[in-house]
Structure 1
Amino acid sequence: MLKFLDRFTGTVYEIGPQWMQKVRGEVAARIRAQLGEGLRTSADAVARFWSDEYYAALFPLRFGLSEDEHGLLGHRDLYPGSDPINLETRVEQPLRWQFQDGNGLPPLLPAVMEGETSELLADRVLSRTALANVILRQRGVAPEALHAVRLAFLTYPLLNELEDALSRWPDLLTIARFLAGRDGGDLPWGLEERLLAALRDGSPPPEVTVYLVLVAAQRIKRYVFETPGLNEIRGASTLLDALVEAGEKVVGQEIGPEVVLRAVGSTLLFLAPTPQDEHGHPWDERLRRAFYTATGTAFVAATTVEVPARHLLDDYQEAIGRAYRGIREDRAKARLPVWETLPFEARCELCRARPAEGWVDLAGEGMAPVCRPCWTKRQQGRDERRGMVREMLRWVGIQAGRDLPKLGVQSRGWMAQSIGPASQEGFIPDEGKAKARRALLATVYGDGNNFGAVGQRLSSLAMGLQWTRRVERATKAAAALALARATQETAWGRGWRPGGDPVLPRLPFQVLALGGDDLSLLAWGPVGIRFAHHFLAMMDLEFQRGSEPEPASQPIAFSLGILVADYKTAVRRTVDFAEDELMGWAKRAFRESGLQQGNVALLLAASPEQIPADLESYRARMYLRSGESIRLCLTLRPFTGEELGFLLDKAEELRRRGHLGRLHRLVASLVTSPPLVGMLHYLYQRARSGDGEGSWMRSLEEGPLPPSLEGLQGHYPAAVLNGRHPFGLAAQSDGEVWFSPLWDLLEIVKVLE
């Protein structure tokens, strides 16, 4: 029985011959469909299969798409209660080749046939094909021979299943047989047996060097949010993603898709045989110029570093570290486009900083002077505004437009044109001016915990590929499904039922960035906090600790910061606060509390004036109460995903039954009175409410509670929760502290309202 150890979680997968035969057969069939007439086109297509299609089918590894009896989307644990996970006993289940194939299992295919490994076959063939590609290019191998070697490296582990399909190219088949350890005769084109064998075995000659090219956008937030309009924000984010995709395509066409190591999060990293492209232009200068030409103002750092090929396979951190040191050096040079606005020049109507370069017709606003960077963003935002959303919806089986009623959203005019109420072409539903004045926008920022520490432990290019692809695919799948489910739940709360008439005029969110280990989005308040619950639940499941974690490993999880504020608040201000203050709070609490799960720091600010200038003093002033005998903390924040789900369920029940006013009076007593007086008032009201079926306070206290809050069982309105610190920060603990969830419930009910 083969043992596959997931190095990132410590989960063990036991794999037998039947599973291997099944997965190898289906993978081979998909590769066979990629083979065309030419060697180059076939090699490129198979490389794209391994780097895109296979990883997209495999990751997320632990959760899949489901649909409940009401037609609501959700996620399911693919291997509930199992560790080690025996895949041989699941061989009758179908394989998943798209995330929306909810009943299928990921096509897990290790790099070896026996023993123990943490490498996937895709990791191994891509990393070694990439090295073979650039090293043979350095040696001047003829194009036909080069592409034959590439295709042989990409297919030889499945030669038994693909030999008939490869027989159309006898020379390629000879190379593949040699790599597979068979006697296929002398290698064609004078290829060196020792070199190919060394590359196959992961031990390139020590004197061989290759080049790493790294291009990364800097100060992304400044570029994206320098203008407040939704089209400009969306356009700036989309433009950065489009430029990375364009760079990836260029590299794939000139060198090969397999040499691209990372193309996500406004970052492009790839291997090259020389510092110059095929026309003699330096790669870093060419790509930097492409970013500047397209954006006009984005700050881009780029570098090319030479590294020993062997380091990529046995000392990956040293190799990749050189590239990031080069980026830091280039960033320090700050080669930025220069602009100046003279006193007599008209300023751009959109950014109000740069000089205008022409007059354009702003829809609904007449002719206005604008600068080229802002106009580029605006056009990109208008033209491509549906692109990322359409792609995300496809991941969960929803066709934008036609299938949106399945989410409770109208199919016509479903994309918002502004941030704000629907009456102003925004995505926040409203019913009249009073509702519009109270429209709440959730600004969500997320980032991974310990992702950098994981990267520092990676010793090979193969594991680096696996980690990069897993984080990217799992994050995208979890975000897409969490947004879809949050939209459905919000529509459900407004009376919608699957199959009924939609109640949401537009899709109530806009994704701004969805990179490898970070995300940012804007959403209607109720959608934003529901998204956080479902997203954390899925990412916690994906990186759930197994039975054999590495000794130095740390928990992998996401932290989110969510500011729910008046939609009229300046977007740049809400973004800064959500990322710097709230997400920073959540990440610090994750470290100091020793959490094994993700968490979220949430703040409600009904008006711009309520956004605190100093979050630390605000927390102490608003949530901590000291009495003669006890200290009381009026919040559980930051919440884990489980805790937020529990509070959302309670808040939804209180909202549905119309108990907001009663809850508000209870919280007011706790806030304005000494702790014991407020708790006594609660107990008095509890006695008046009684224990009958209609008692609203009885339903408030009923479980089940998540494990971290079990101390509240029978001890409402507050209890000592072992191991919990105020605000999740150890420095805030000074003796015994009592915790109450009532203020949290009240704020969540207000958001849901």
Structure 2
Amino acid sequence: MNLVRLADEAYKETLKPTSKYREVSADTRVPYISLLDHSLLTSGIAVACVKELILRGSSPLELSGYNLTEEEAIASVRIASLFHDYGKIYQTHLGHIEKGVNFVRSWLEEKGIEGIKKEVILREIERHHLRKNPESLLEKIVCLADSIASAGDRPDLSDIKTYKELVDKTQGTIELEKEIFGEKHGLALILGDTDRIKFYVYETTKLPAIRGASEILKELNEVKTKEIFSSHLVPECLIYSGGGSFLGIVPVSLADTIKSEVEKAYLVETSVCTISIVFKPLSYLNFARGIEPYVEEGFSPIFRNAKGIGNWLLESHFGKKMEFKDKKGFGEFVQSLAYELKREKETKERVPFFEVLPIVERCQYCGKRAAEKLDEIGTEKFTVCYVCKKSVDKGRRDRTILLDCFKNWIEKNYGVNEEIEKAIPCPDLDRIGNYIAFIYADGNEIGETFSRIKAPSSYKHFSESLKEATENSIFEALYKGFESVIRDNQLPRNDDGKPYLPFEILNIGGDDVAVLVPAPFSWKVALKFLEEFEERTKKLAKELGNKEGKFTSSCGILIAKSSYPMHYAERLAEGLLKKAKKKAKEKDKTKEETKSAVCHLYLTTSIASEDAEGLLKDFYEREHEKFTLTLRPYTLEEAKVILDRIGDLKIATSQIYKLAQSLEKGIHFSYGFYLYQSVRGSIEGKENGFQKKTEDLFKKLGCGEPNILWKKTEKGFATPLYDILELLKIGVNKIG
């Protein structure tokens, strides 16, 4: 069999769901890093090393000592790296090299690989530790790749405090690296992030166009980028891709080429959307200890004596407790590269621009570019630009990546559902509902946590685990939110009689999600997501040493008419998310922990604004009276109490308006009116305990001064009653 095809087969074998690689830890000292994570990363690093030497002019004969082709030399280290620790699947690390060699020998013979090719691969596995004295360059490369892949996870390296200790622990590997690459770096870390995603995705109110644009970017990020890496290297060189970003390890000599090809792919596919990419050469010490200084020795006096701006700068990087040891590792290097990426985005000089002459008809969807295509919706015809036409055609397909993922998830967790199997994406925004909710959620302080990750194998593991937890959380939230509709086969149908899902999953990134749901379902879906996210990330938080034992998330919810421009809806939802994140960081007297939080805004009229905080202030703050008609944002626990208490409340719409108007007239008047209406029985639901339930709720939210409707705050007084009345008007209490 061809050695290159055999390497591809070995790669696919390791990725199988039944692969034992998933069940065994790569290092008994770091139980959460699987053999799969370590082996894939070792393979990617080894291939990048070989490719760099080939690009520098080294021949396969110089690399291996034999007349192999370049492709065979690369395939040999790939196979050796994927199987170098295979012996560990026998649940013991003792003698794992010999066991691995024996397995691979039999496997190669079974595949018809004999002679020199077989011996080259077996020697690369046999000598992948320094103490085994690797001889050929290929053997040394596999040895170096193995050391790099596990560098930051080694406890003995993380405890280093002096330069002498650093030299003692790493000298052999550093000398090996220099022997392979000389004085020049051989590897580079490359980081990319899509620019202005939201301006591209949400520039129209047509749901198929929004969905199509999102789908195009998802394919570029998760499919096309991987194809580009694979065409020059192997998929294992890509550490992570998702949510519009990617991170990979590449040969220094190839970094510019990969950067250019990915950038070109984005422009070719979208015409208007770009991606910013930066790369930086790195060495073994960067993998193991982040950026300089590598050790605390000589740096401690700077910590102790820093004042003013100097102290602030150190705290911004190392934290207020100056946790030098916790910060040093691969994550610190990634963070430094992320700063360069941010600067690259901010200083970008060229962006795609389509000039439109005054005499040219503009696109009826985006209103930005010249119309040059015809789009038909039923009997209506619209003149649209090339960009919108491409997006809308993509979005009208019966299958999308996220929809297929959701269907597969339901089948895996709840069994086959024929109605769901037939379901197509929602035709347009008005089919979701007259009022729809834009839910935008994002993890709290996840970036800071990732900057403390020690090794690239850990980075890959945590990135993929977080992505999986986020995806499972939103899928569970949507399924539970619409369970009765899905379970009872009550999905709505389009004009052709096909069932469709009455919501839209716009995006699922690493730890962030964006979905559209009918307004009454907004709180149930959002709170369920926050709850699931906390639960599903507990294991990950424990592995990362998170003191709180869980990760939390925050959520912004913008509720508006389906005709409201999506650009404004997204911007306002993001602003509400920021408000929720501020609430999440507030520490109470009993627990020093970050909480999940939610903040919503209900628009009954279309307002052209991107300032969520400004709208909340204008709508609810009465500065001259020193009171506020809202207690938003709420923590997850507070929001759950609200949703639980108002679940079966019944109150006439006219009474909702009267109570809301009474709140405008002040603290004492509103309380008097509330008591009067309660006693008089005008509030429908006297039998279901409206007053008792709401007063119990007010107490749990800290109200009671000067009366049960109000809570004393720094700015004066605030009430949750207006929020409750809004939620009742939206109909969140009608969703079981």
TM range (shorter): 0.7 to 0.9
Secondary structure of residue in 2 paired with 1:516: coil
Q: Does 1:346 align with 2:361?
A: yes
Question: 1:605 touches 1:611 (CA, 8 Å); kept in 2?
Answer: no
Question: 1:701 touches 1:716 (CA, 8 Å); kept in 2?
Answer: no
**What is the CA distance between 1:457 and its match in structure 2?**
1.8
Q: 2-side partners of 1:131 and 1:290: how far apart?
A: 25
Partner residue of 1:127? 41
Q: Does 1:286 align with 2:261?
A: yes
Question: 1:449 touches 1:587 (CA, 8 Å); kept in 2?
Answer: yes
Partner residue of 2:66? none
**What is the CA distance between 1:661 and its match in structure 2?**
4.1
Q: 2-side partners of 1:502 and 1:370: how far apart?
A: 31
Secondary structure of residue in 1 paired with 2:26: coil
Q: Does 1:213 align with 2:127?
A: no
**What is the CA distance between 1:343 and its match in structure 2?**
2.9
Compared with structure 1, are the counterparts of its residues 520 and 567 closer, same or farther at alpha carbon in structure 2 (3 Å cutoff)?
same
Compared with structure 1, are the counterparts of its residues 621 and 384 closer, same or farther at alpha carbon in structure 2 (3 Å cutoff)?
closer
Partner residue of 1:266? 244
Q: 1-side partners of 2:542 and 2:262: how far apart?
A: 45
Task: State the one-letter code of the partner of 2:410.
Answer: V
Aligned length in residues: 613
Partner residue of 1:144? 72
Question: 1:275 touches 1:283 (CA, 8 Å); kept in 2?
Answer: no
Question: 2:52 touches 2:254 (CA, 8 Å); kept in 1?
Answer: no
Task: Identify, as 1 or 2, the structure richer in helix.
Answer: 2
Q: 1-side partners of 2:71 and 2:615: how far apart?
A: 66
Matches within 5 A, 1:204-353: 205=177, 207=183, 208-244=185-221, 245-276=223-254, 282-315=257-290, 316-317=330-331, 319-321=333-335, 323-328=337-342, 330-331=344-345, 332-353=347-368
Secondary structure of residue in 2 paired with 1:383: coil
Compared with structure 1, are the counterparts of its residues 343 and 238 closer, same or farther at alpha carbon in structure 2 (3 Å cutoff)?
same
Task: State the one-letter code of the partner of 2:282.
Answer: V
Task: State the one-letter code of the partner of 2:521.
Answer: V
Deviations 1:13-32 (A, max 9, x none): xxxxxxxxxxxxxxxxxxxx
Compared with structure 1, are the counterparts of its residues 38 and 635 closer, same or farther at alpha carbon in structure 2 (3 Å cutoff)?
farther
**What is the CA distance between 1:625 and its match in structure 2?**
8.7
Question: 1:626 touches 1:675 (CA, 8 Å); kept in 2?
Answer: no
Match 1:167 to one of 97, 101, 106: 106
Partner residue of 1:742? 721
Partner residue of 1:643? 638
Q: Does 1:509 align with 2:519?
A: no
Q: Which runs of 5+ in 1 are unaligned?
A: 1-36, 58-94, 98-106, 421-425, 429-438, 727-732
Compared with structure 1, are the counterparts of its residues 181 and 293 closer, same or farther at alpha carbon in structure 2 (3 Å cutoff)?
closer
**What is the CA distance between 1:249 and its match in structure 2?**
2.5
Q: 2-side partners of 1:745 and 1:404: how far apart?
A: 38
Compared with structure 1, are the counterparts of its residues 681 and 350 closer, same or farther at alpha carbon in structure 2 (3 Å cutoff)?
closer
Compared with structure 1, are the counterparts of its residues 699 and 485 closer, same or farther at alpha carbon in structure 2 (3 Å cutoff)?
farther
Q: Cα RMSD over matched residues?
A: 4.1
Question: 1:109 touches 1:120 (CA, 8 Å); kept in 2?
Answer: yes
Matches within 5 A, 1:354-503: 354-357=369-372, 359-365=373-379, 368-383=382-397, 386-397=400-411, 403=417, 405=419, 414-420=424-430, 426-428=431-433, 439-488=434-483, 491=485, 498-499=487-488
Secondary structure of residue in 2 paired with 1:397: helix
Partner residue of 2:674? 682
Q: 2-side partners of 1:710 and 1:227: how far apart?
A: 40
Compared with structure 1, are the counterparts of its residues 116 and 398 closer, same or farther at alpha carbon in structure 2 (3 Å cutoff)?
closer
**What is the CA distance between 1:649 and its match in structure 2?**
2.8
Secondary structure of residue in 1 paired with 2:631: coil
**What is the CA distance between 1:550 and its match in structure 2?**
5.2
**What is the CA distance between 1:353 and its match in structure 2?**
2.3
Task: State the one-letter code of the partner of 1:232.
Answer: A
**What is the CA distance between 1:641 and its match in structure 2?**
2.5
Match 2:594 to one of 585, 596, 600: 596
Match 2:536 to one of 542, 548, 551: 542
Partner residue of 2:603? 605
Percentage identity across paired residues of the two chains: 22
Partner residue of 2:690? 697
Compared with structure 1, are the counterparts of its residues 230 and 398 closer, same or farther at alpha carbon in structure 2 (3 Å cutoff)?
farther
Partner residue of 1:615? 613
Matches within 5 A, 1:718-737: 718=709, 733-734=714-715, 737=717
Match 1:520 to one of 514, 518, 526: 514
Q: 1-side partners of 2:239 and 2:82: how far apart?
A: 16
Question: 1:47 touches 1:154 (CA, 8 Å); kept in 2?
Answer: yes
**What is the CA distance between 1:620 and its match in structure 2?**
6.8
Question: 1:313 touches 1:461 (CA, 8 Å); kept in 2?
Answer: no
Q: Does 1:199 align with 2:145?
A: yes
Question: 1:443 touches 1:520 (CA, 8 Å); kept in 2?
Answer: yes
Compared with structure 1, are the counterparts of its residues 555 and 402 closer, same or farther at alpha carbon in structure 2 (3 Å cutoff)?
closer
Secondary structure of residue in 2 paired with 1:320: helix
Match 1:709 to one of 700, 719, 729: 700
Q: 1-side partners of 2:571 and 2:14: how far apart?
A: 38
Q: Does 1:176 align with 2:129?
A: no
Deviations 1:114-153 (A, max 9, x none): x465644333333332222211222344433432332332
Question: 1:313 touches 1:462 (CA, 8 Å); kept in 2?
Answer: no
Q: Which runs of 5+ in 2 are unaligned?
A: 55-62, 64-69, 91-99, 109-117, 149-172, 291-329, 494-498
Task: State the one-letter code of the partner of 1:471.
Answer: L
Secondary structure of residue in 1 paired with 2:427: coil
Q: 2-side partners of 1:717 and 1:391: how far apart?
A: 47
Q: Please, which moves more after superposition, 710-719 or 365-374?
A: 710-719
Secondary structure of residue in 2 paired with 1:269: strand
Deviations 1:434-457 (A, max 9, x none): xxxxx1110111222212211222
Q: 1-side partners of 2:571 and 2:547: how far apart?
A: 33
Secondary structure of residue in 1 paired with 2:560: strand
Q: Does 1:558 align with 2:536?
A: no
**What is the CA distance between 1:623 and its match in structure 2?**
5.4
Question: 2:375 touches 2:389 (CA, 8 Å); kept in 1?
Answer: no
Question: 1:666 touches 1:682 (CA, 8 Å); kept in 2?
Answer: no
Compared with structure 1, are the counterparts of its residues 742 and 393 closer, same or farther at alpha carbon in structure 2 (3 Å cutoff)?
farther
**What is the CA distance between 1:38 and its match in structure 2?**
5.6
Secondary structure of residue in 2 paired with 1:377: helix
Compared with structure 1, are the counterparts of its residues 404 and 745 closer, same or farther at alpha carbon in structure 2 (3 Å cutoff)?
farther
Deviations 1:30-80 (A, max 9, x none): xxxxxxx665445445546767959xx9xxxxxxxxxxxxxxxxxxxxxxx
**What is the CA distance between 1:390 and its match in structure 2?**
2.0
Secondary structure of residue in 1 paired with 2:727: helix
Compared with structure 1, are the counterparts of its residues 352 and 603 closer, same or farther at alpha carbon in structure 2 (3 Å cutoff)?
closer
Secondary structure of residue in 2 paired with 1:348: coil
Compared with structure 1, are the counterparts of its residues 693 and 560 closer, same or farther at alpha carbon in structure 2 (3 Å cutoff)?
closer
Partner residue of 2:58? none
Higher relative contact order (CA 8 A, sep 6+): 1
